[in-house]
Structure 1
Amino acid sequence: MRTFSAVLAMCLCAISAVAAPAKTVTSTPAELMYLGVWPHTILVVDANQEKVVDKIDLPTDIARTMLLSPDKTKLIVSTLRDNSILTIDLATKKIENCFSLNDGPSSLRIGGLTTDPSGRLLYAVGTAIDKKIDHYEIGEPKLMVIDLAAKKVTRSAEFGKDDAFTSQRASMKVSPDGKLLYMFRQSIFVYDTSTLKLVKKIELSKAEAPETASMSLSPVEDPNAVPGKVTGIFNSSDPYVHQRVFGIAEVDLATQDYELTPIGPSATSIQPLLMSPDRKYGYTVAIYGTNGNRVTEFWVFDMKTRKLLNKHEFVGRTRLNFGLTADGTKLLIYNAGFEIEVYDAKTLAMRSTIDLHGDTTSNLVVMPTAGK
């Protein structure tokens, strides 16, 4: 015979089984970002969780430059010491392709890297370094085409007197039809991708903005950029008192048209401009002064009126890079160091820090939100 307590327990269990509502498990979709860290690792960071969720170990060397493939399914990575190119499938995190550009005692140092719309070709500025018995011979920089299927440099061209190249690093973009290569330096150099010949030089110093001196553009993709266009910060100075001013530049890669909007007095240095998903707002970091007089600020722009809406001083690192999450809600400060500092895009106040457990070695690649 069952005791009263046993019957009561059974009844309570039955009641709870009927009355207890089913628990709904909700999860925020991952918003992934990729960043190279020492010694030879690419970290997978979830911006929503604000933590490292996975990692990819490289068989070669440290990741130096990383690109997202045009179809957003692969990560293309160049490494430093061995000058290798790797292609990583982001779904499986497996390395699909890997080859070195070095040839015995000769090495090929890569600076500046971009992909064509097909994702099969890379454009780069490469410098050959030959190891001799008692010295190294460093060649002149060349414009190069790297074929990912052939696993080698298939074409190269020397720079001429009109586009003489003295620095190894460059910011480059390819037009939507793949026919033109843009190289952003103190002027904008436009090349025919079939011949690697210079077809146009846009002299920013002769643009409507007075005495434009240089143009600063992001070396990595902005996930919220207008397709086929590049938006960045330019610096200029007037021809009379040489007062430096900055502004926002927009370049149409399909038509070669550009628009320069001067805004105000320039800072010592300004980070690349990154936009919110609706492209209503633009964000960057400005630095004034050096050493003990250094001041670091976030700047927020209205992208329609090209006006500075807000700025906020924060404790900046001696050397830093600026990033923005794809949803536009978080500002990111990284490099150099073992952490990513996360700031709220509305309040410009610090939210948290993400421990990377290693010093950063590459640019940050932010995956676009769904549908982009």
Structure 2
Amino acid sequence: MTAPALADNAGRVLQSGQEYMVVTNYPNNLHVIDVATDEVYKSCDLPDQFGPGTAIVSPDKSRAYVLSNRYTTLYGIELDSCDMSFRAVLAQAPGELARSMYSFAVSADGKELYTVANPSQKNLDHYVVGDPRLQVYSTDAGLDAKPIRMFPAPRQSYLMQAADDGSLYLAADNIYRIDVQTGEREVAIGVRDWERKGYGQPDVLYLWPKQQVSRDFTILYAAPKFTDETEDMDTAEFMFGFYNINLETGEMETQDFAPVTEVYFTGARSPKDPSAMYAVLNRLTKYDIATQKLLASQELDHTYYVLAFNHAGDKLYLAGTFNDIGIHDPETLNKIGSITLPGGDMSTTTPQIFIR
């Protein structure tokens, strides 16, 4: 089946007070979806090569920042016009290759953009792996943006989000709080270094920097929970849980929500009912966090990587993989609709929902 061509609607302006979703897909598209009608409102062409196409929306909701060009370049796309107004190549030296593993964020005031670049030097017969760098950009730097500050960053850096108090939270071997002016960092939530009595080492696989409507920075973990003081792995129960930082208040949580019975890639609490945790990969599930009981489950047409709620919490969107976005009822988990995107699959795109 051939996907429809992009409509000529790049100049369609977003309306104040309306709720939208930004999502990307192959071959090089950025789509804006009207959440009220669940229809594609407009489509923009992205520059250079695609991948991963991860987008983050600016605090004033005027611009989408996109990590693409095979993880090497950050772009700022004006949502009203589809014009590119910002471009930053992560490599900083001749012969250097640098990529960001989904690791970028915009400050709460919209003035700065942060990313961790993982550099390597390409020589004639070998590569030299460099040390990761936290690169800070001014968002008004235009199409040849250069870092205004650079600091050492931890290895294994992936997701980051900026808090309202100016802190930057970065997930790596631990979740760090970083001072973006000095580069100093401290452990906000222990992951490799967690000291949680009765538990073994947690494991994390989470690549989607979702800007949740509740202003939560949530990452799932799986960890063995021991049944007694012998800490015998053969009798341990493996649990799913979540790390959470509220970006408005700074409140932090580490909380189990379910036994491990299948694999999930992402999860989120509803803005309407934060007592329930939703998770997705091959099935969509809903758990009561306090009792860790499965409340509902729904078989899916295919795998979805990432989920997102609208602001009212009455619609749940599933994205990633193919070029369709599934729409589900958060109460029953029944499928209530679908959005077919012009173009190809979404790969590891991250849907971002916002009100203009």
Instruction: Decide whether aligned partners of structure 1 residues 212 and 259 sit closer, same or farther in structure 2, where only a CA change above 3 A counts.
Output: farther
Contact map agreement 2:308 2:317 (CA 8 A) in 1: yes
Kindly tell me: are residues 200 and 76 of structure 1, through their superposed partners in 2, closer, same or farther at Cα, counting changes over 3 Å? same
1:201 Cα shift? 5.5
Gaps of 5+ in 2: 1-16
Provide the C-alpha distance between the structure 1 equivalents of 2:41 and 2:176, rounded to a whole number of angstroms. 40
Q: Is the 8 A contact 2:296 2:332 kept in 1?
A: no
Deviations 1:184-216 (A, max 9, x none): 245322222222122336434303573351456
Q: Which has a greater percent of strand? A: 1
Between the aligned partners of 1:257 and 1:323, the Cα distance in structure 2 is 21
- What are the residue-to-residue correspondences of 1:43-82 with 2, within 5 Å? 43-62=31-50, 64-81=53-70
2:183 matched to 1:196?
Answer: yes
Contact 2:90 2:117 in 1 (8 A): no
Measure how far apart 1:135 and its partner are: 4.1
Q: Give the superposition deviation at 1:286.
A: 4.7
Question: Which of 88, 91, 95 lines up with 2:84 in the alignment?
Answer: 95
Any residues of structure 2 matched to 1:126-205 within 5 Å, and which? 126-150=117-141, 151-159=145-153, 163=154, 165=155, 167=156, 170-178=158-166, 180-200=167-187, 202-204=189-191, 205=194
* Aligned residue number for residue 108 of structure 2: 117
Q: Is the 8 A contact 2:257 2:287 kept in 1?
A: no
**SS in structure 1 at match of 2:147:** strand
Aligned to 2:254: 260
More helix as a share of residues: 1
| Post-superposition offset of 1:340 | 1.8
* Higher RCO (CA < 8 A, seq sep 6+): 2
Identity of aligned residues (%): 21
Q: Deviations over 1:3-29 (max 9, x none)?
A: xxxxxxxxxxxxxxxxxxxxxxxxxx8
1:358 is aligned to: 344
d(CA) in 2 for partners of 1:158 and 1:97?
24
1:98 to 1:352, Cα distance in 2 relative to 1, 3 A: same
Q: Which residue of 2 aligns with 1:329?
A: 314
Distance, in Å, in 2 between the alignment partners of 1:254 and 1:352 is 32
With 212-221 and 88-97 compared, the bigger mean Cα shift is at 212-221
Count of residues in correspondence between the two structures: 324
Alpha carbons 1:108, 1:127 under 8 Å: kept: yes
Q: Provide the rounded CA distance (Å) in 2 between the counterparts of 1:44 and 1:286.
A: 23
Q: 1:276 to 1:313 in 2, by over 3 A?
A: closer
Any idea what the Cα deviations from partners look like across 1:222-265, whole Å, max 9, x if unmatched? 4422x4x4344332212333321123443355776533333331
Alpha-carbon distance in structure 1 between the residues aligned to 2:207 and 2:261: 17
Deviations 1:103-134 (A, max 9, x none): 55323212211112222222222112333334
The separation in 2 between residues aligned to 1:146 and 1:306, in whole angstroms, is 44
**Contact 1:172/1:219 (CA < 8 Å) preserved in 2?**
no
Contact 2:259 2:292 (C-alpha < 8 Å) held by counterparts: no
Q: Summarize the Cα distance change of 1:358–1:300 in structure 2 as closer, same or farther, 3 Å threshold.
A: same
What is the CA-CA distance between 1:279 and the residue it aligns to?
4.1
Closer, same or farther: CA 212–72 of 1 in aligned 2, 3 Å: farther
SS of 2:140's equivalent in the other structure is coil
Distance in structure 2 (CA, Å) of the matches to 1:223 and 1:319: 18
Cα RMSD after superposing both structures: 3.1
Alignment check: 8 A CA contact 1:36 1:62 kept: no
From 22, 26, 51, the equivalent of 1:34 is 22
The amino acid across from 1:317 in the alignment is: H
Q: CA deviation at 1:88?
A: 2.1
Report the TM-score, using the length of structure 2 for normalisation: 0.77
- Aligned match of 1:10: none
Q: d(CA) in 1 for partners of 2:221 and 2:335?
A: 28
Cα distance in 1 for residues equivalent to 2:33 and 2:50: 18
Change (3 A) 1:95 1:260: same
Q: Confirm or deny: 8 A CA contact 1:106 1:131 kept in the other structure.
A: yes
CA contact (8 A) 1:234 1:248 kept: yes
Give me the whole-angstrom Cα distance separating, in 2, the residues matched to 1:82 and 1:191.
Answer: 23
Deviation at 1:347, TM superposition (A): 2.6
State whether residues 73 and 89 of structure 2, in contact with CA within 8 Å, keep that contact through their aligned partners in structure 1.
yes
Cα offset for 1:50? Answer: 2.8
Q: What residue is the counterpart of 2:217 in the other structure? A: 230
Cα distance in 2 for partners of 1:208, 1:123 equals 35
Q: Which amino acid aligns with 1:359?
A: D
